Amino acid sequence: MRTPRDLDAIIVGAGHNGLVAGCYLARSGLKVLVLERQPYIGGAAVSRQLYENFTYSNCSYVCSLLRPEIIRTLELPKYGLQVIPYEGGVTMMQGGGHLANYDNHDALRREIARHSTRDAEAYDRYARDVMRQCKFIKPLLMREPPDPTSFKPRDIQELLYLGRRFHGLGEERMYDTLRFWTMSAADFLDEYFESEIVKAHFAGSSIIGTALGPRSPGTAYVLLHHYMGDIDDTVGAWGFARGGMGSITKALGASFEASGGTIRSAAPVAKILVRNGRASGVALAGGEEIHAPLVISNLDVRRTFLETMDSKDLPDEFLRQVKNFKIRGSSGKLNIALDGMPRFPAIPEGSPSIRGDMHVTDTIEMMEHAYDDWKDGRWSRAPYIDMLIPSQIDPTMVPDGKHYMSVFVQYCPYELADGPWDAAKRRAFGDTVIDTIAQHSPNFKELILHAEIRTPWDIENEVGLTEGNIFQGELTMDQLLFNRPVPGYAQYRAPVRGVYMCGSSTHPGGGVMGAPGANAARAVLRDLGRAN
């Protein structure tokens, strides 16, 4: 691949946010180069064939948060992106029995009523309150967070917007918002539900990707973060990208190249170069230097500033804050090729819930115990798993009759108490997960053709996410909005002129959303006087 000359901007990392930023910049006429360390693009949104004729979404695995305005503006459908919503979802109980999720309101009410009539009706209040908060937050996703300490007209204007929206919620909901953003998922769910299984079912999304337990303050927001997405205006709906999550970044890559951008893969950036206090380009691991006045990093903030920049180029206090940025590894992943469809006796024949996300943690207590293991530096002996079989819906991923299972595992530490990860420990971690599933599926083990086991350490090494944290940093109130990634630097601009951040470490955070990339591109263009 030839590296173009007279570049306007270099983007470090071909994850979805890097590519989104690249697309917007290229469409505004900038000459942009995206550099990727791996021989393939995508970052954590990839489709990979690690076993013959099986395609794995081997990192991120479901899609909901990708903003529709990005899909539309960047013409991703034209480049092959198709997101298919799935219905269902189920939590299997320890002694048999289950709680399923159904799209049909009456089916869902009757399902929850099997466990608690009251909860079945409280669900409407729960859904209403979650929806109210999503309605408040959603418009903030695609905006640069205002700096509350600044007197710049733009910041004041944005603060006023935020204030007006907040005030527009009405008295009662303003209280709720503050409570929602700070309380624990367990406390939050207690305000609605009485049944343990119902609470456990909804609590799952409050811990996915975080190094917090369901009883930790701040997890109610994480739950909300997972509801913020929508598919075709159905808020909270999740779907599969046809062909795996890689088809998102594949479409972004194609859209980027169609706008004149260049991608160079297998080109790891070793250093962001700074000359006379401003960005001048990057140096690749092999020594090659590529120059451009703008460098936009899709890497998480820790990796960007502590590993890819010279600390002498950065202010001390900023560096200290970056060092303190919470980005802990807490999740692992198994990708499994199956010879056929596993049976789950707890799920009734014909229930569509099996086509959604499946869980086996039936109490908050159990979830919290899983977290206790993580705190002690070992993987959960009874992990929370988010398990899906996308090949039931997506015909492109496996040979006919076979199945692909994606198993997200919470919790798994980046560093073990008894020393570094090795092959035997990785296998033992995988066995824990497989045994957990096999407790609910008698024929599961015999169907396994291949399993890829990924610890946080593996995810860091392959994808580059510090500690393998899927959100590029915890989604807690102290690291959200104008405090994300660190106070004073929430507007995508680094302390060095010409250096920008566009990864999920920035507002509005992780999930395959694309909003940080789009917002960062807007900040770059505004600085260039090309505001769109």
Partner 1 sequence: MTESLAPHFKQPLLKTPFHERARALSQIDSFVPWAGYTTVDVFSTMEQEYFSIRNATTLYDLTPMVKYRVSGPEAMPYLNRLVTRDVAKLRPDRVAYCVWCNDAGHLIDDGTIFRMGESDYRICTAERQIDWLLDSAIGFDVQIVEVTEQIAALAVQGPTSCAVLKTMGLWGVEKLKPFEIGYFMLGAHPLTVSRTGFTGDLGYELWMEPGAALGLWDALMEAGRSRGIRAIGSQALNVARIEAGFLLPNVDFVSAEHTIRTGRDRSPLELGLGWLVDFNKGHFTGRRALLQEKTQGPRRQLVGLDIAGNKPAHNALLYTDDSGKREIGSVTSAIWSPTCKRNIALAIVDAPHFQIGSTVWAEIYLNRELVWERRMSRAQVVERPFFAPERRRATPPAEF
Which residues of this protein are in contact with partner 1, per CB under 8 A?
A: 100, 102, 104-107, 109-111, 117-118, 120-122, 124-125, 128, 131-132, 135, 168-170, 172-173, 348, 350-353
Tokens of 499: 């250096």
When the beta carbons of 23 and 130 are compared against partner 1, the nearer one is 130
Helix (H, G, I), strand (E, B) or coil at 501: strand
When the beta carbons of 132 and 271 are compared against partner 1, the nearer one is 132
In the complex, least distance from residue 178 CB atom to partner 1, rounded to whole angstroms: 16
Closest CA to 119 of 237, 221, 235, 127: 127
- Residue 390 and residue 85: Cα distance in Å, rounded? 11
In the complex, least distance from residue 480 CB atom to partner 1, rounded to whole angstroms: 23
Burial class (CB in 10 A: 0-12, 13-18, 19+), 55: buried
When the beta carbons of 120 and 292 are compared against partner 1, the nearer one is 120
When the beta carbons of 63 and 122 are compared against partner 1, the nearer one is 122
- Residue 250 and residue 442: Cα distance in Å, rounded? 37
When the beta carbons of 235 and 306 are compared against partner 1, the nearer one is 235
Q: Within 13 A of 276's CA, how many CA atoms are on the CB side?
A: 2
When the beta carbons of 127 and 306 are compared against partner 1, the nearer one is 127
Task: Name the E strands within 26-168.
Answer: 32-35, 48-51, 54-56, 83-85, 90-92, 98-100
In the complex, least distance from residue 197 CB atom to partner 1, rounded to whole angstroms: 17
Tokens of 463: 């994808």
Beta strand 384-388 with 403-410: parallel, antiparallel or unpaired?
antiparallel
In the complex, least distance from residue 172 CB atom to partner 1, rounded to whole angstroms: 7
Residue appearing with tokens 């994300």: 484
- Which helix (H) or strand (E) covers residue 177, if one does? helix 171-182
Tokens of 252: 């972004």
Tokens of 91: 């939590």
When the beta carbons of 88 and 516 are compared against partner 1, the nearer one is 88
When the beta carbons of 67 and 355 are compared against partner 1, the nearer one is 355
When the beta carbons of 105 and 275 are compared against partner 1, the nearer one is 105
In the complex, least distance from residue 259 CB atom to partner 1, rounded to whole angstroms: 38
Tokens of 309: 């920049």
In the complex, least distance from residue 170 CB atom to partner 1, rounded to whole angstroms: 4
Task: Name the E strands within 236-339.
Answer: 239-241, 262-264, 269-275, 278-284, 289-291, 294-297, 331-338
When the beta carbons of 305 and 344 are compared against partner 1, the nearer one is 344
In the complex, least distance from residue 350 CB atom to partner 1, rounded to whole angstroms: 6
In the complex, least distance from residue 281 CB atom to partner 1, rounded to whole angstroms: 49
DSSP string, 349-384: TT-GGGGS-EE----HHHHHHHHHHHHTTS--SS-E
- Residue 170 and residue 182: Cα distance in Å, rounded? 19
In the complex, least distance from residue 106 CB atom to partner 1, rounded to whole angstroms: 4
When the beta carbons of 31 and 173 are compared against partner 1, the nearer one is 173
In the complex, least distance from residue 114 CB atom to partner 1, rounded to whole angstroms: 9
Whether residue 333 contacts residue 316, with contact meaning beta carbons closer than 8 Å, is answered with no
- Residue 217 and residue 273: Cα distance in Å, rounded? 40
- How many residues make up the chain in this entry? 532
In the complex, least distance from residue 112 CB atom to partner 1, rounded to whole angstroms: 11
Closest CA to 352 of 167, 170, 85: 85
Task: Name the E strands within 58-214.
Answer: 83-85, 90-92, 98-100
When the beta carbons of 40 and 161 are compared against partner 1, the nearer one is 161
Whether residue 205 contacts residue 227, with contact meaning beta carbons closer than 8 Å, is answered with yes
What ranges in 28-85 are assigned the alpha helix state H? 68-73
In the complex, least distance from residue 121 CB atom to partner 1, rounded to whole angstroms: 5
Beta-ladder partners of 206: none
Whether residue 18 contacts residue 279, with contact meaning beta carbons closer than 8 Å, is answered with no
- Residue 386 and residue 62: Cα distance in Å, rounded? 11
In the complex, least distance from residue 138 CB atom to partner 1, rounded to whole angstroms: 12
When the beta carbons of 24 and 202 are compared against partner 1, the nearer one is 202
